[in-house]
Structure 1
Amino acid sequence: MTRRVDGWLLFSALFLLFLGWLMVTSASMEVAGSRYGNPFFFSIRHGIYVLMGLGLGLFIVLIPMRWWYDNSFVLLLMAFLLLLAVLVPGIGREINGSSRWISLGIVNLQPSELAKLFMMVYLAGYLVRRLDEVRNRWSGFIKPLAVMVFMGLLLIMEPDYGATVVILGSMLGMLFLSGVGMMRFILLLVATVSMAGMIAMMQPYRMKRLTTYFDPWSAQFDSGYQLTQALIAFGRGGWDGLGLGNSVQKLFYLPEAHTDFVFAILAEELGLIGALATLFIYGLLVFRMVHIARKAGETGLLFHCYTCFGLALVISAQVFINIGVNTGLLPTKGLTLPFMSYGGSSLLVSCVMVAITLRVDQETRLTLKERERLKEEKRAEYARKRY
């Protein structure tokens, strides 16, 4: 009997989901107890998001990929409207100097998380409709980038530089995988890097982060504070860690320990072995997503293929950037770790991405099964005519 779900993909997603809940609980207890008088304040809220993510994922699996294809442009417009709304005073909620959230009562919606998903769905549909134009003409290549420029401007106005990098990097990856000419791709890459450098120099705090990146210990109690505290957490962890719940850095030393820097706390409590095991599970998750995308492409389901590739690129880029920031490999930037960091929008969208991939896998299997059935019918009909 043909399997109806990719077991390894589902296992890796659920493992990261519940490991994240465990680490958010451990990393936030002291902060939650101090702020709200309840050490499980963040844990309970994160648990609710986990349950919501599982429920939403079960619902998304039931939606045919045809619906996403037919509504890809509408979803893109919705993303732009939300990104515009978050900039409107009274609608957007400002936290730590950034206006990235829309308050919906008990929860906050982060439009940039939805923008990542909807942009990948739109670009997948665009590539299916205009693949020849994308491969052979500058116009087909530039059109989606013009859309990204507008979206990037809205994201930078929040500001959300991390989301801009993730979406742009994922778009470049999808265009490259679609077979665009190498010369055009290299020119675009050079232009993108140059533009990123110009944007970084426009704001003094971004330049400060870049200079601190090269020597964080020179500004240990200023702009390099978060990074140095994260590095101390990695150093304390050693090979096997201090044990679950025994982190020292979460005791008001490392800011945002349960959000952007939850991986540093994981490394401190579970050690290098636990950190590498977590990276392996992330690798397994992305590998299965890419495998499903390739299988869909070989079956001829191009929209399914491009969508899966795009979602895999978004998750892998966000994991790479977050862990790169935690370890000092990249300049400090606020970006959540998929499935693990505290944050409802990020967690829900991550669950939706996996659910869409499972739907792609299901439709690919059904398509292959239907083709095999038709082949068997043709063989049987040929045999009847022959004899």
Structure 2
Amino acid sequence: MSRVSTYFDSKLLMATLALLLIGLIMVCSASITIAENKTGQPLYFFIRQLAFAGLGLFFAWCVMSIRLSHWQQMAPMLLMVGVGLLVLVLIPGIGREVNGSSRWLPLGPVNLQVAELIKLFAIIYVADYLQRHHGQLNTSLLKVLSPLLLLSVAAVLLLLQPDMGSIVVILSTVLVMMFLGGARLDVFIGLIAILAGLFTLMVWVAPYRLQRLQSFMDPWADPFGSGFQLTQALIAFGRGDWLGVGLGSSMQKLFYLPEAHTDFLFSILAEELGLIGAVAVIALFLIMIWRALAIGRAAEEAGQLFGAQIAYGISVWLGLQACVNIGVNMGVFPTKGLTLPLMSYGGSSLVIVCIAIGLLLRVDLETRQPEKASARVKR
């Protein structure tokens, strides 16, 4: 372990691997019944998730071997590729539609959810932008708005899918990065107010979003209709009590709670492992986010601004998405289609988050060993 600590942040690495392992165990437990019913193979979803985990770890290792300067050189191109893929998703016959949403590109036996990819590409692009315009954001409003205008194109394409949850995560992450990169507090607050107003308008003009909000406010008003998913999740939390009903003994996963192995995996975890298990998972996420922020701070102090913003962006992204997912499961936030990082079933999310962690570890490596870093990229 001491040798690993020399090169990488061991606390971050251990927290990440622990979340990944717990996620695999819970996907196996939560999906056995539905997998057997749909495919005749009880371990169908677990085997796929295990394969995606292996693929994600492989890509994470590859990413750790690539210098940050190369990522910075590719930053504008990566964003353009991401926007292009968002366009392809919306083309009939190319994008795949599931439950009324066109969010996936079929790639043989797997489907790529482009929204997961654009989250990482947006962070890389904004980190490059902030490094190139360091010290200018507090004096020029245009410098603050320029990347937001470009990312608004991606936001519109995501809205057409529709995927409002990803828009919230991406724009919130970018705004925090801009603030940490030097944007004035009054500008930051003003942009938040504008985005809050736009989100409120989008909820008001879309009947299904308004209905989702109303069911969130009082799910028991229609427990077998619009409030069914949330009420079943809350029942799972209630059954879990302190120590849970035991691993594999959940009742809610037996066709009561929809998406038990995906968006609502945390509810099954709370039912089977209880409050102790749920708090332990939250603690692991807090450790992961704490170490990511610490890596960003160390990189900033070492003068590696691009790496620092990468670390800040990844920490905000993963922290916000985990917070929203857990909050949705507990009835704190309206239902959104956001996965629990490293844990929920889903190949795109798992692989992209592993890549993000690999990039984070590369930032840590170049901060600890500056000789492994290339010269700054200037355009």
Q: TM-score, normalising length from structure 2?
A: 0.96
Q: Is this contact kept in 2: 1:299–1:368, CA < 8 A? A: no
Per the TM alignment, residue 181 of structure 1 is displaced from its structure 2 partner at its CA by 1.1
1:198 aligns with 2:201: yes
Specify the alignment match of 2:226 in structure 1.
223
- Decide which of 109, 122, 126 is 2:125's aligned counterpart: 122
- Decide which of 335, 339, 342 is 1:332's aligned counterpart: 335
Q: Provide the C-alpha distance between the structure 2 equivalents of 1:152 and 1:12, rounded to a whole number of angstroms.
A: 31
Q: Provide the C-alpha distance between the structure 1 equivalents of 2:255 and 2:11, rounded to a whole number of angstroms.
A: 37
Specify the alignment match of 1:169 in structure 2.
172
Per the TM alignment, residue 132 of structure 1 is displaced from its structure 2 partner at its CA by 2.9
1:259 aligns with 2:262: yes
2:207 maps to a residue whose letter is P
Specify the alignment match of 1:70 in structure 2.
73
Q: Provide the C-alpha distance between the structure 2 equivalents of 1:282 and 1:94, rounded to a whole number of angstroms.
A: 32
Q: Provide the C-alpha distance between the structure 2 equivalents of 1:348 and 1:236, rounded to a whole number of angstroms.
A: 32
Per the TM alignment, residue 180 of structure 1 is displaced from its structure 2 partner at its CA by 1.1
1:97 aligns with 2:100: yes
Q: Is this contact kept in 1: 2:67–2:372, CA < 8 A? A: no
Specify the alignment match of 1:142 in structure 2.
145
1:112 aligns with 2:127: no
What stretches of structure 2 of length at least 5 have no aligned partner?
374-379
1:350 aligns with 2:330: no
Specify the alignment match of 2:298 in structure 1.
295
Per the TM alignment, residue 106 of structure 1 is displaced from its structure 2 partner at its CA by 0.5
Specify the alignment match of 1:385 in structure 2.
none
2:97 maps to a residue whose letter is E
Specify the alignment match of 2:38 in structure 1.
35
Q: Provide the C-alpha distance between the structure 1 equivalents of 2:220 and 2:205, rounded to a whole number of angstroms.
A: 25
Q: Provide the C-alpha distance between the structure 1 equivalents of 2:203 and 2:46, rounded to a whole number of angstroms.
A: 35
2:319 maps to a residue whose letter is S
Per the TM alignment, residue 296 of structure 1 is displaced from its structure 2 partner at its CA by 0.3
- Matched ranges for 1:226-245 at <5 A: 226-245=229-248
Specify the alignment match of 1:56 in structure 2.
59
Per the TM alignment, residue 342 of structure 1 is displaced from its structure 2 partner at its CA by 0.4
1:307 maps to a residue whose letter is I
Q: Provide the C-alpha distance between the structure 2 equivalents of 1:164 and 1:327, rounded to a whole number of angstroms.
A: 22
Per the TM alignment, residue 84 of structure 1 is displaced from its structure 2 partner at its CA by 0.5
Q: Provide the C-alpha distance between the structure 2 equivalents of 1:191 and 1:5, rounded to a whole number of angstroms.
A: 40
Q: Provide the C-alpha distance between the structure 2 equivalents of 1:117 and 1:196, rounded to a whole number of angstroms.
A: 22
Q: Is this contact kept in 1: 2:117–2:352, CA < 8 A? A: yes
Q: Provide the C-alpha distance between the structure 2 equivalents of 1:285 and 1:311, rounded to a whole number of angstroms.
A: 11
What is the SS of the residue equivalent to 1:133? coil
Identity %: 46
2:147 maps to a residue whose letter is P
Specify the alignment match of 1:375 in structure 2.
none
1:24 maps to a residue whose letter is V
2:245 maps to a residue whose letter is L
Specify the alignment match of 2:376 in structure 1.
none
Cα deviation 1:311-368 (Å, max 9, x = unaligned) = 1111001001100100000001111000000000000011011100111111001128
Cα deviation 1:364-387 (Å, max 9, x = unaligned) = 0112899xxxxxxxxxxxxxxxxx
2:311 maps to a residue whose letter is C
2:82 maps to a residue whose letter is A
Q: Is this contact kept in 1: 2:366–2:372, CA < 8 A? A: no
Per the TM alignment, residue 199 of structure 1 is displaced from its structure 2 partner at its CA by 0.9
1:18 aligns with 2:21: yes
Relative to structure 2, which stretch is displaced further, 325-334 or 132-141?
132-141
What is the SS of the residue equivalent to 2:286? helix
Specify the alignment match of 1:86 in structure 2.
89
Cα deviation 1:235-293 (Å, max 9, x = unaligned) = 00000000000000000000000000000000000000000000000000011110000
What is the SS of the residue equivalent to 1:135? coil
Q: Provide the C-alpha distance between the structure 2 equivalents of 1:200 and 1:92, rounded to a whole number of angstroms.
A: 25
Per the TM alignment, residue 131 of structure 1 is displaced from its structure 2 partner at its CA by 2.4
Q: Provide the C-alpha distance between the structure 1 equivalents of 2:7 and 2:135, rounded to a whole number of angstroms.
A: 33
Cα deviation 1:14-47 (Å, max 9, x = unaligned) = 1111110100000000000000001101011001
Q: Provide the C-alpha distance between the structure 2 equivalents of 1:115 and 1:4, rounded to a whole number of angstroms.
A: 29
Specify the alignment match of 2:289 in structure 1.
286
Q: CA RMSD in A?
A: 1.2
Per the TM alignment, residue 133 of structure 1 is displaced from its structure 2 partner at its CA by 2.8
Per the TM alignment, residue 189 of structure 1 is displaced from its structure 2 partner at its CA by 1.1
2:164 maps to a residue whose letter is Y
Q: Provide the C-alpha distance between the structure 1 equivalents of 2:309 and 2:115, rounded to a whole number of angstroms.
A: 21
Specify the alignment match of 2:377 in structure 1.
none
What stretches of structure 1 of length at least 5 have no aligned partner?
371-387
